[in-house]
């Protein structure tokens, strides 16, 4: 099983719709979780950290389920500018700190 898995998509979603994607992780020692956004041929940028209690930032909601070892990202009222690749990031510590990126989920918002 891969350390961090995401559905690669693409998710083709009409503007204004709600879209959600999950990311599963294999290491129960995982400590920190993030969602990053990456536009085509650009560097990743932090979208939001993911807290145990769940957190919301405007139209974006992130949730963590430690028991089932997944995190989720929900985007409400999607905009054309939300089109990007969304990268799930997990940090865990065994002997060393490790930070693992998923391969990303591609999202296309359709006009």
Residues of this chain that bind another protein (CB under 8 A): 4, 31-32, 34, 42-46, 49, 87, 91, 93, 96-104
| C-alpha–C-alpha distance, residues 111 and 101, integer Å | 30
49 DSSP β-pair partners: 34
Residue 8 token pair: 């690669």
Taking the complex as a whole, how short is the minimal distance between the CB of residue 18 and another protein, in angstroms? 24
If the CB atoms of residues 79 and 93 are measured against another protein, the closer one turns out to be 93
Taking the complex as a whole, how short is the minimal distance between the CB of residue 91 and another protein, in angstroms? 4
Taking the complex as a whole, how short is the minimal distance between the CB of residue 17 and another protein, in angstroms? 25
If the CB atoms of residues 38 and 72 are measured against another protein, the closer one turns out to be 38
Given the structure tokens 């560097």, which residue do they identify?
43
């Amino acid at each position: 099983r891969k350390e961090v898995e995401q559905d690669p998509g693409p998710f083709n979603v009409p503007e204004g719709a709600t879209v959600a994607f999950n990311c599963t992780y294999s290491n129960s020692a995982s400590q920190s979780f993030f969602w990053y956004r990456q536009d085509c041929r650009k560097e990743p940028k932090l979208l939001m950290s993911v807290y145990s209690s769940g957190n919301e930032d405007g139209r974006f909601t992130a949730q963590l389920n430690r028991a089932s070892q997944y995190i989720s990202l929900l985007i409400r009222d999607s905009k054309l500018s939300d089109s990007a690749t969304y990268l799930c990031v997990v940090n865990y510590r065994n002997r060393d700190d490790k930070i693992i990126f998923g391969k990303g989920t591609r999202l296309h918002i359709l006009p």
